[in-house]
Amino acid sequence: MSACSLGGAPSATVNVTPSAPEAAPSASASATASGDPSPAPPHPASSPRPGAHPVGSPYPAQGHGYDISYPQCADAAGPQGAQYAIVGVNGGKAFSRNSCLFDEWTRTKEPRSVYLNSGYNPDNYTFAQEPCRALGERLGGATPAERQAYAIGCAEVSYSYIVMAQDHVAAPQMCWVDVESGNSWDELDVNLNRHALQGMFDQLVGHGCRVGVYAQYKEWRAITGSWQTSAVAADWVSLAVPYEACGLTGFSGAPVWLVQELATWPDVAVDSDWAC
C-alpha cells in the first residue's frame, strides 16, 4: 500500500516509554462472562439493558450514536437525534486518509471520538520515521521482527495524527483502534500483531487519548491470540446484539462501552451504535 501525500515533514513522534505486550491469558481463560454475543439481526436490535452503564464511559447510558468514515462522505452530517459520533481518520487501512474527515468531524456533536485503522504488514516499516524506529529498538527482550512491528504500529498513529491536525480534528473523547481480519496481519505469529497494536496504544496514550478497541470476539482471538491488555480502557463490540454484549466482559478484558449492531440508522445509511 502507498501513503497519501500529506504535504510537509511529519511531526515528531510523542516520546513514550515503550511497553512490551502483556502475556495473553491461558487457553482455559474465558474472554467473556457467558460466551460470545449473538450476531446482530439484520434489523434494529434491542437497546442495552438498563443498569449496565460502565464506570468512566463518556457516552450516555443506553445512548444511541453512530460511526462514520470515507464510505459515507455524502452523509457527512450524520443522523438527526444521534447522541454521539465516532469518525474514522483513515481510508479503510493504515497509512491512508478519510477524504472527508474535516467535513464529518466538524458536523458532529459532542461527545465525539475518532477511530484509526490498524494492521501489521512488514513492508510498512518503510513508513516508520526515526522516532518510531528508536522506540522499537528500546523494547527489551524483543526480537528484531517484534521491534519493527512495534515501530509500524507507532508510525500508524503518527501518520493519523498528521491527518487529524491537517483536518483540524482535536481533543477526541476516545481513540478507538479498529482491529479487523480484513486488514493485514501475521497469521502465524500473533506476537507480531500484538507488538504492532502495542505500538499504537502507547502512542495514543502519549498523545493524551484514552484507548479503546473495536473488534469482533472471534477476530480478536484470531489476530491476537485472546490477548488481554491493561493498555485498553474499553471495548467496542462489532455487529452484536446490544442487550447481550453489554452484559459481557470485553474481548480485550476491558469493559464493553459500545456495541455496533448490524442495522443502520433509519434516516441516514450510517452504522448504528449503542452505549452500554
DSSP string, 4-49: PP--SPPPPPP-----PPPPPPPTT--SSSSSPPPBPPSSPPPPPP
Q: How much of the chain is in helix, strand and coil states, percent to nearest 5?
A: 30, 15, 55
DSSP codes joined into one string, 221-272: HHHHSS---TT--EEEE-SB-HHHHTTSB-TTSSBEEEEEEEEEPSSS-SEE
pLDDT (mean) for 264-273: 88
Among 184, 21, 190, which residue's Cα sits nearest to residue 96?
A: 184
pLDDT for residue 272 is more than 60: yes
144-166 and 130-137 helices, crossing angle to 10°:
140
Q: What's the pLDDT score for residue 2?
A: 30
Taking only the tens place, the pLDDT of each residue in 111-132 is 999 999 999 999 999 999 999 9
Query: For the whole model, what pTM was predicted?
Result: 0.89
What cell was used for 37? 454475543
Rounded Cα distance between 207 and 157, Å, is: 10
Structural contact between residues 237 and 258, judged by C-beta atoms closer than 8 angstroms: yes
- Please report the sign of the dihedral spanned by the C-alpha atoms of residue 177, residue 182, residue 183, residue 186: positive
pLDDT at 23: 73
User: In the structure grid, which three cell numbers stand for residue 92, read together?
Assistant: 479503510
Q: What is the pLDDT of residues 85-113, one digit of tens each?
A: 999 999 999 999 999 999 999 999 889 99
User: Exposed (0-12), middle (13-18) or buried (19+): which is 44, by Cβ within 10 Å?
Assistant: middle
Q: What are the chain's domains?
A: 64-275 (3.20.20.80)
Check pLDDT > 80 for residue 260. yes
Q: Which of 84-93, 139-148, 165-174, 234-243 has the lowest mean pLDDT?
A: 234-243
Is residue 186 scored above 90 in pLDDT? yes
pLDDT at 42: 41
Average pLDDT over residues 271-275: 92
Residue 145, pLDDT above cutoff 50 = yes
What would the pLDDT profile of 190-227 be if each residue is shown by its tens digit? 999 999 999 999 999 999 999 999 999 999 999 999 99
48, 242 contact by CB (below 8 A): yes
Pair 82, 66: CB distance under 8 Å: yes
Rounded CA-CA distance 40/1 in Å is: 32
What is the end-to-end Cα distance of the chain in Å, rounded? 36
| The three cell numbers locating residue 112 | 465525539
pLDDT of amino acid 18: 94
What was the pLDDT predicted at 26?
41
The amino acid present at 251, given as its one-letter code, is F
Please write the tens of the pLDDT for every residue from 23-78.
Answer: 765 443 333 344 776 655 443 445 666 666 888 999 999 999 999 999 999 999 99
Grid cell locating 39: 450476531
